[in-house]
Structure 1
Amino acid sequence: MQKFKLSLRVSSALRTAHPRTTPLRSYSTEARLTTDHVRIVEVGPRDGLQNEKKSISLETKLELIRRLANTGVTTIEAGSFVPAKWVPQMASTSEILQHLLRTPPPSQNQIAYNYLVPNIKGLENLVTILESEGATAGSKDDAKASTTTEISLFAAATESFSKANTNCTIAESIERVRPIVALAKEKDIRVRGYVSVALGCPYEGPDVSPGKVAEITATLLEMGADEVSVADTTGMGTAPRTLELLHALSAAGIANSDLALHFHDTYGQALVNTIVGLEHGIRIFDSSVGGLGGCPYSKGATGNVSTEDLVHTLHGLGMHTGIDLEEMSRIGAWISEQLGRANDSRAGKATLARIAGEKTCP
């Protein structure tokens, strides 16, 4: 195995552009981000809450979104148009969409609200609500739009996980995605793809084929996805295997600007893997306030990397996110209390302890 080396000059290395040696395919892309800016996709209200055992009220979900909108975050996963019998916590997604269309939370920046749609029926339900409210999805290029509406869809990198999660093969799941993307493009709705279990599968183990992940990612981009989030759903990823996967994606001609990374922190490697992604040139990362989340199909898989920990790390490396760490830390403590669970963010708890200490000092 090739020995893995992590640069000690991270801060300066991250500011250096990485030359491309492979030809780019004709994918749907968004504008390039500056080299020292990282866009964080906050997944707490959807991925973070969907597997909580305790029933969560619509008011609590809306309050969580309202608070997050005031932190500087620009993309928030707001819900999922899945059948309530599959994911009971997402049963109020229609009401959330209606509320955000009618009375979006105040924010100093435009916010894209993203909704997971597992099938064409889910997207049709979303479109029906948009039309009934006399709304469009909006455009991130429209400076007058305070919010936009986006969708996300998913595929898995292993056959076993695909069958357990969607009751179909990888090839069948890709075919199910095609009409979703086509309808979304017809309605001018931005599309985000997910590739689950990219660095480890609960059924097939840690040795997921990087080539297969690259193939699925390329397929989603070629059919019109604007961005693909490659997900370490089980948290099995390590620094060398993350780098191997990123090399496979680059070799497939996939631009870094079309990619996001989604790490779970099951084995405490999410931030290490994040730095690997940063050094490779990735500038979009998913995270969840308070470290909320987990995968019901992966026993022992803990939550997403916490937004507070991610922001603290990025800012410490000299990167910019536009996110207020103190405000995000307060939200992490609040939602953890609402759910009756421990706050899994180390940076969040430390930040609040520091603030409390400063207030008590003479």
Structure 2
Amino acid sequence: MRQPQRVESATALPDKVTIWEVGPRDGLQNEKAIVQTEVKAEFIRRLLDAGLPIVEATSFVHPKWVPQLADAKELMEGLANPELPVLVPNERGLDRALELGLKHIAIFGSATETFATKNLNRSLDEQFAMFEPTVRRAREAGMDVRAYVSMCFGDPWEGDVPVEQVVGVGKRLFDLGASQLSLGDTIGVGTAGHVKRLIGAFDEAGLGVDHLAVHFHDTYGQALANAYAALEAGVTTFDASAGGLGGCPYAESATGNLATEDLVWMLHGLGIETGVDLEALVATSTWMAGHLGRPSPSRVVTALS
């Protein structure tokens, strides 16, 4: 499987980045066929063994909304790893995370009115009132809180999303107590210049790249280009999904999250440290693809497996 890769370091890029692996949560949540809890647990263990420093395991969302993640409590009890982050939609989700002694949670906000209404059943402003007690209680319990901001680059109902609107939402989430904002291109319409403009706008607003992560979807084949643009802007935390698992239910023909393997191949080629064993990661994604009954959409998985 080993293939030659020439390393050519680029100037003014970070020496090291952190990959926030979202495959077990964001990747699997859209799968119609229920993946067995034991398979999910093995998937997470393999990802950790491959050197991924952060693996987001699941979400404590109501099973009615995401049946795939109905086994969240059972999964986390079996893993017995309080360092694994989980998504919590509200205080009820936080209660479940606290009961298990978990240390890291994430909340999921919206940069647009329509998506806030559809996804959270709240208006753009009302979402902050919903998140405030969740974040406050989590911080009081010593938890770290990450905030996802969806629809940062475009919305299927509202179209273009003003950069200033995204920055305003992000700042309010940060002011609630989030330690990091993950800026999501939920429908994959972002391009490199747009990425740099948004990151620059956050910096101008006093929230620098140390507090930002990026979460790209590859609907239009721009995820890697956007990741490189974010690198040039100084971002050092990148969300990605092993094997390119996941998809966007809001855009026809969306091809899912940026594949972790594709990101790692690019980063290693630039001489940037990730701590990830690419061969082990490819083997893991190939194994999971077998359980899902279809090949991985990742170009690197296809090339190396």
TM-score, length-scaled by structure 1: 0.80
How far 1:10 moved relative to its partner?
A: 7.2
Amino acid at match of 1:121: R
Q: Rg bigger for which structure?
A: 1
Kindly indicate whether the alpha-carbon contact (under 8 Å) linking 1:195 and 1:229 is maintained by their aligned counterparts in 2: yes
Partner Cα separation in structure 1 for residue 136 and residue 220 of structure 2: 38
Provide the residue aligned with 2:5 in structure 1. none
1:141-220 aligned within 5 A: 149-205=103-159, 207-220=160-173
| 2-structure distance, mates of 1:281, 1:10 | 15
CA deviations 1:236-291 (Å, max 9, x no partner) are 00111111111211111111110000000010000000010000000000000010
Amino acid across the alignment from 2:265: H
What's the C-alpha RMSD, in Å, of the aligned pairs? 1.4
> Who is 1:94 aligned against?
73
CA contact 1:74–1:112 (8 Å) conserved in 2: no
Q: Any conservation in 2 of the 1:289–1:308 contact (CA below 8 Å)?
A: yes
Distance 1:167 1:351 in 2: 43
Query: Is contact 2:261-2:300 (8 Å) kept?
Result: yes
Matched letter for residue 125 of structure 2: A
Code of the residue aligned with 1:191 in structure 2: it is V
Q: CA deviation at 1:336?
A: 1.2
**Does structure 2 conserve the Cα–Cα contact (< 8 Å) formed by 1:202 and 1:299?**
no
1:116 equivalent to 2:87? Answer: yes
Are the aligned partners of 1:76 and 1:112 in contact in 2 as well (CA < 8 Å)? no
1:50: which partner in 2? 29
Q: Residue 163 of structure 2 contacts residue 198 of structure 2 at CA under 8 Å; is this kept in 1?
A: yes
Partner SS, residue 203 of structure 1: coil
1:62 CA drift (Å): 0.6
Deviations 1:99-134 (A, max 9, x none): 222xx4xxxxxx94111101111101111232xxxx
**Paired residues of 1:191 and 1:227 also in contact (CA < 8 A):** yes
* Pair 1:13 & 2:12 matched: yes
Cα distance in 2 for partners of 1:313, 1:283 equals 14
Contact 1:199 1:236 in 2 (8 A): yes
Gaps of 5+ in 2: 1-7
The count of residues paired between Structure 1 and Structure 2 equals 298
From 88, 95, 98, the counterpart of 1:127: 98
Aligned mates of 2:254, 2:202 — CA distance in 1: 25
Q: Which residue of 1 aligns with 2:234?
A: 281
For 1:211 and 1:99, the matched residues in 2 are separated by 43
- The letter of the residue matching 2:289 is S
Q: Is the 8 A contact 2:9 2:269 kept in 1?
A: no
Give the match for residue 144 of structure 1: none
Q: State whether residues 20 and 237 of structure 2, in contact with CA within 8 Å, keep that contact through their aligned partners in structure 1.
A: yes
Pairing 1:1-362 to 2, within 5 Å after superposition: 11-14=10-13, 35-101=14-80, 104=81, 112-130=83-101, 137=102, 149-205=103-159, 207-352=160-305
Residue identity in the other structure for 1:164:
K
- Using the size of structure 2 for normalisation, the TM-score is 0.94
**1:151/1:189 contact within 8 Å kept:** yes
Q: Distance in 2 between matches of 1:173 and 1:337?
A: 39
Hey, what's the Cα distance between the residues in 1 that align with 2:68 and 2:251? Answer: 18
8 Å contact kept, 2:199–2:209: no
SS in 2 for 1:296: coil
SS at match of 1:211: helix
In 1, the alpha carbon distance for the partners of 2:170 and 2:270 equals: 28
How far apart, CA to CA, are the structure 1 residues paired with 2:112 and 2:171?
16
2:183–2:213 contact (8 Å) kept in structure 1 = yes
User: Deviations 1:176-209 (Å, cap 9, x if unpaired)?
Assistant: 110011110111111000000101111122x111
Gaps of 5+ in 1: 1-8, 15-34, 105-110, 131-136, 138-148, 353-362
Q: Could you tell me whether the CA contact under 8 Å between 1:233 and 1:301 is conserved in 2?
A: no
3-state SS of paired residue (1:195): strand
Q: What amino acid is the match of 2:10?
A: S
Work out the percentage of aligned pairs sharing the same amino acid.
46
